[in-house]
Amino acid sequence: MRRIHVGNALSAFGLGFTVPYLYVYVAQVRGLGAMTAGLVLAVFAVAALIVLPFAGRAIVRRGPLPVLLAALVTAALGALSLGLAGNATAVLAAAAGLGAGQAVMQPALATMIVDCSSTETRSRAFATQFFLQNLGLGVGGLIGGHLVDTSRVSSFTLLFAIEAAMFLLLAVVMATVRLPHAPRVGDAPQSAGGSWKSLLGNRAMVQLCVLGFVLFFACYGQFESGLSAYGVEAAGISTSALGTALAANTAMIVVAQFAVLKFVERQKRSRVIAAVGLLWAVAWVVAGYAGLGHGSREMATAAFVSTYALFGLGEAMLSPTIAPLVADLAPAGLAGQYNSAFALVKQLALAVGPAVGGPMGASLHAPYIVTFLLFSLGITYLALRLGRQLTAVQDQPWLARKRVVARGGAVPEPVAAEA
């Protein structure tokens, strides 16, 4: 588990070097224009949507480690090629490789965490993963910002080379991992279509996927698109204040993660997610004040930074809740399939969110706030509805640690998919 967490931190550190500067690199440094830069970001999403359905099946049959190593090599080649690419075709091809590799890493690493943890320790394991990811992204972005120089292509080539080196270093670290024996279904005569059919027959998992789509659409899909556009256009936030808001989000996660964990571990997961919906509704109200409250520039900036901090607090509550729940809903041996399915839902939300929120945040200020305020309240409703589909231990794993059993006198098994 320690090696896996180190690997998570390394990959996030490498991504932090390049992600904030990707648009500037393609559009300005390489001189390929805003349209090509936009296409690069779209290619990341499309590549993820293409490979994730196959990644889940590969993880189930081959195990997460071989799939992760293949993804890391692919991502490293994509990152290095992106740093050397000089024309639009080469940039788009490199972005496809980097996007596909990054997308497959997520469910592979999540499945490795599942294999190395129990129901009782899983929440803390995923909270640690999320903490290290944000810390790595923040530190990587900070160092990358001091290395980059828009007047020198070589400085960006160095950034992408460092990112590729981080992926390869992670591959070396992961190659030393010896996972505990976990169930595999490689010899089962089950087709990929049958596997997806059985997953779709799991009502709790389907409801969790719907909830996950709304979560990522209404929060993560707005951070760098609709919400930032709203802040600049409606609230008059400066670019430096926008950077401060993003830093406040990361700082809140890093500071609050383990303090929040102690509380979250003892609560019902469905109620924690419902509380996040209410918290984010408050965040949207604060954002509404920042852009529509006609206060001073200083008050608007403070409110906008507070919005991002409130979102960060909600994220800290979700990290030990959502990912472990996906794992606990998966039948034995199918954690990789379920993790990939949820990652696919996340990518869909992150692709649709900016497309819808960006134009609204830039021009339809009041409707934008009202729309996503309602989405946040929808999270609360969907979470409470999901809670009725979960067993006692799935909803509150703390019961297993206290050795409190369900009504039938035994700890329930994870919900199996219905045919």
User: In this structure, what token pair is assigned to residue 273?
Assistant: 């997610």
Question: 202 lies in a domain?
Answer: yes
Alpha-carbon distance of 7 to 118, in angstroms, equals 20
Q: Could you read off the pLDDT of 298-357 as tens digits, one per residue?
A: 888 888 889 989 999 999 999 889 988 888 888 877 888 888 889 889 888 887 887 788
Across 108-122, 154-168, 199-213, least confident range: 108-122
The C-alpha R_g of the chain, in whole angstroms, comes to 21
Q: What percent of the chain has pLDDT over 90?
A: 21
What confidence tier does 189 reach under pLDDT thresholds 50, 70, 90? very low
Instruction: Summarize pLDDT for 365-390 with one digit per residue, the tens.
Output: 889 999 999 999 999 999 999 999 88
Query: 98 and 239 share a domain?
Result: no
Distance CA 5, CA 121 (A): 14
* Domain annotation covers residue 58: yes
Contacts of 348 (CB under 8 A, 6+ apart): 49, 213
Question: Residue 155: which domain range?
Answer: 1-174
What does the buried/exposed string (b/e) look like for 158-171 if buried means 16 or more CB atoms within 10 Å of the residue's CB? bbbbbbbebbbbbb
Contacts of 186 (CB under 8 A, 6+ apart): 60, 61, 62
One domain, residues 153 and 249: no
Tell me the pLDDT tens digit for each residue of 204-230: 999 999 999 999 988 887 876 788 788
Separation of alpha carbons 72 and 77, rounded Å: 9
From 174, 201, 221, give the residue that closes a domain.
174
Task: Answer whether residue 379 is part of any domain.
Answer: yes
Our count of domains for the chain comes to: 2
Q: How confident is the model at residue 85 (pLDDT cuts 50, 70, 90)?
A: confident
Dist. CA 327–CA 333, nearest whole Å = 10
d(CA 138, CA 24) in angstroms, rounded, equals 18
User: Is residue 204, in this structure, part of any structural domain at all?
Assistant: yes
Residue at 413 is within a domain = no
- Residue with the bigger pLDDT between 345 and 39: it is 345
